[in-house]
Structure formats: structure tokens, C-alpha cells
Amino acid sequence: MTVTPTASDRAVASDSEKSESDVLLSVRDLKVHFPIKRGFLVQREVASVKAVDGISFDIRPGETLGLVGESGSGKTTAAKAVIQLNRPGSGSVKFEGQELVGLSTSAMRPVRRKIGMVFQDPYGSLNPRMRAGDIIGEPLKVHGLAESQVDYRRQVSSLFSTVGLSPAMSERYPNEFSGGQRQRLGVARAIAAKPSLLILDEAVSALDVSIQAQILNLLQDLQEQYNLAFLFIAHDLSVVRHISHRVAVMYLGKIVETADSKDLYERPLHPYTKALLSAIPTPNPIHERSRERIILRGDLPSPLSPPPGCGFSTRCPIAADMCSATVPELRTLAPNQQAACLLAGSVE
């Protein structure tokens, strides 16, 4: 394994992967259920929270899949299950053709090198007692990716430049960085071990808009340069549209609609997607005043006792009687566009 983080190395690596299979990550019928236990000495399982309830998606090399949904929809749990931080109850997660479900922690270690993670909170996800250089260099040490001390230092300073920070900052502690700079550190750490997939869990949500735009541009540059695939989790649909090639919308642990980004935003088919899109105010007063908006009733139902049939039926503006009787499956309603709604019509 070469350690020079050049674009050509990555291109070679990704070419060989492409010949094996076109899909980098393939998730099938993934379920994560958390048991609820009662009792003091003898604990019984009385119920379970179906945080992720049978989701499937693919990510190809260099592609971004946006996973959107409101709090409690299961998007973060799904991401953790992909990297086996939450052990899925059932289903399959194949990464570069290798099945990850059921792998031991030690067998997961080489896989984790290839999947980087960036978290929401740039304050909570960096160790305040480590110097920035050590934080970024840690993956190199853990996975043995530096040949010598000189090589290690060279790689760390090159990572600093890649994310737009000065290598001279490597001696500083996280509290000496601004929020935007910390998120750059988080990105540098995530790409240090040259992964082929980055999981970005609300990675830009906590940032001010001017800084958020800088980080989004950085991520797009890195994707192009290294042919990185992204699993981009966010609740902000306008950010997801900007960065994603494909989008999956989650509600109560299920994917309710998935489509190419362009189609989903131009022609949403599921009533939940429609409501989500209409709920987002855009910075254009004329557009805002003329726009139809769908205000949903009520709150997200408790995942402890989801409604029978379609999970969205309690808030759905077009729900019919059959919606509370039948669980809708994802149906292909247009090329590359699937929605789980009994009432959504197909588009020619």
C-alpha cells in the first residue's frame, strides 16, 4: 500500500474496484430494533423500537446518496448500522463486495479504514487534549499507514493543506480553532486513511451559512479529486439537493421515497416528500408568497407505537381508509424513482 495521498493512487484503486462491481456499498433490508426491557432482577423484553425497519440502498464509487428525514426518522441509526457501530438485527450490508453484518470487531478494523466518518458537532467530536496534528494523524498510526516519522509528518501536513488549513496549525489544540476550522479538521481526519466512502452525519448543520458553503465546496472538491462516495445525512433538504446525486427520504425507520436528486425535487411523488419540500422557506419573498404550502398536522408518531399500516397515515393530507390497513411497499413509479405510497400514481 502506497501512502502518498495523490489523486492518481486513488484513481488506480477505484478503477480496480470498478472492475469487480459497480456498487461500492449495497444495503439490503437493514433492520435495527432496540429492545425495551422491564423488570428489576429478571429483565423481559416488552417491546422494541424499530429505529430502522428494512431499508435498502446502493452507493456507487464517487456518488453521493443523501439521506434526509426529520429527527427520529432513523437516519443516524442507519448510518451507524452500515459501519457496524449499531449491530443490525437483520439484513445485509455489503461494502466492496464483502458482507459486514456479523463481522467481528477485529475483522471490521480494516474495513473502517475505508469508511470515514464526519460528525455534526465540531466541538464534541475532537479530543480537546490532543493537538490538531495528532488528531488528524491518529488514523495513520492506527492503520499503520506511515512508513516513517518523516513520512507521517509529511502526510499530516499535506492533509492540513488539502482541507484548506495551514500546516503550521498542527501544534494547536481544538479550542484554538473556529467552528468551521474544526469541521475542516474533522474532514481531514476522516480522509486521512484514504477511504472510498465518507459517512457525513449532519456534517454542516451546526455551521453558519457562510462557513457551511465553504465546507460544502471542500467536500465536492474532495469527492472529485479522490472519487469519494458520500452517504450524506441531513435534515436540510436544500443542502441535500445541492450535494447529492441520489436522495432517499426516511420517515419512521423506513425509506418512503428514493430518486435521482433532480427528479425528487422537481417531481416529488410521496405526500411526505411534498410536504417536506413545501415546508422549507426559500430566501425569495416573491416565490414565498406565490407558493403553495402544505402544513402537516401533528407530530411524528412515537416509534414505540407506530400507527398501523402506513406510518405517515396519521399526518398525511391525502390518507384514505386503506392506508391504515396496508403497509405500502416501495414501488417504481418513474424511471429511477420509487415511492412507498398506496395512493401515489405512476408517472409516464
Partner 1 sequence: MVRHKRAKYMTTDTPTNTSPLLQVRDLRTSFITPQGKIPAVNGISFDVNHGETLGLVGESGCGKSVSALSIMRLVPNPPGVIESGEVLFEGVDLLKISNKEMQSVRGAGIGMIFQEPMSSLNPVLTIGRQITEPLGVHLGLSGVAAENRAAELLEMVGIADSRRRLGDHPHQLSGGQRQRVMIAIGLSCEPKLLIADEATTALDVTIQAQILELMKNLTSQLGTSLLIITHNLGIIARYADRLNVMYAGKIRESGTAEQVYLRPSHPYTIGLLNSVPRLDRPLSERLDPIEGEIPDPLNLPMGCAFRPRCRWVTEQCKVAEPVLGQIAGRQSVACYESKAVSGSVGITLQ
Please, what is the minimum distance in Å from the beta carbon of residue 53 to partner 1? 19
Binding mask 166-205 for partner 1 (x = CB under 8 A): ------------x-xx------------------------
Among 16, 19, 71, 149, the residue binding partner 1 under the rule CB under 8 A is 71
Please, what is the minimum distance in Å from the beta carbon of residue 296 to partner 1? 5
CB closer to partner 1 out of 10 and 241? 241
Q: Which stretch binds partner 1 (CB under 8 A): 8-16, 84-92, 167-175, 269-277?
A: 269-277
Three-state DSSP at 3 gives coil
CB closer to partner 1 out of 125 and 212? 212
CB closer to partner 1 out of 13 and 207? 207
CB closer to partner 1 out of 7 and 209? 209
DSSP-assigned letters across all residues of 179-231: HHHHHHHHHHHHHTT--SEEEEESTTTTS-HHHHHHHHHHHHHHHHHHT-EEE
**Cα→Cα distances 42→45, 46, 162, Å:** 10, 12, 54
Is residue 223 classed exposed, middle or buried when 0-12, 13-18 and 19+ CB atoms within 10 A define those classes?
middle
Which residues are 250's β-sheet partners? 255
CB closer to partner 1 out of 64 and 196? 64
Which of 74, 19, 51, 28 has its CA nearest to residue 201?
74
For position 265 contacting partner 1 by CB under 8 A, the verdict is yes
Please, what is the minimum distance in Å from the beta carbon of residue 68 to partner 1? 10
CB closer to partner 1 out of 29 and 208? 208
Which of 92, 87, 32, 33 has its CA nearest to residue 58?
92
Please, what is the minimum distance in Å from the beta carbon of residue 151 to partner 1? 32
CB closer to partner 1 out of 103 and 296? 296
Which residues are 332's β-sheet partners? 338
Task: Tell which positions 223-252 bind partner 1, by CB under 8 A.
Answer: 235, 237-239, 241-242
Q: Which stretch binds partner 1 (CB under 8 A): 45-53, 151-159, 283-291, 320-328?
A: 283-291
What is the Cα–Cα distance from 328 to 243, expressed in whole angstroms? 29
Asked if residue 169 lies in contact with residue 160, where contact means CB atoms within 8 angstroms, the answer is yes
Three-state DSSP at 300 gives coil
Three-state DSSP at 147 gives coil
Among 21, 217, 336, 346, the residue binding partner 1 under the rule CB under 8 A is 217
CB closer to partner 1 out of 155 and 261? 261
Which of 290, 255, 259, 289 has its CA nearest to residue 272?
255
Side-chain-facing half-sphere of 299: CA atoms under 13 Å: 5
Which of 105, 115, 297 has its CA nearest to residue 199?
115
Among 108, 146, 296, 327, the residue binding partner 1 under the rule CB under 8 A is 296
Residues at the site binding partner 1, with contacts judged by CB under 8 A: 70-71, 178, 180-181, 208-214, 216-217, 220, 235, 237-239, 241-242, 261-262, 265, 275-288, 293, 295-296, 299-300, 315
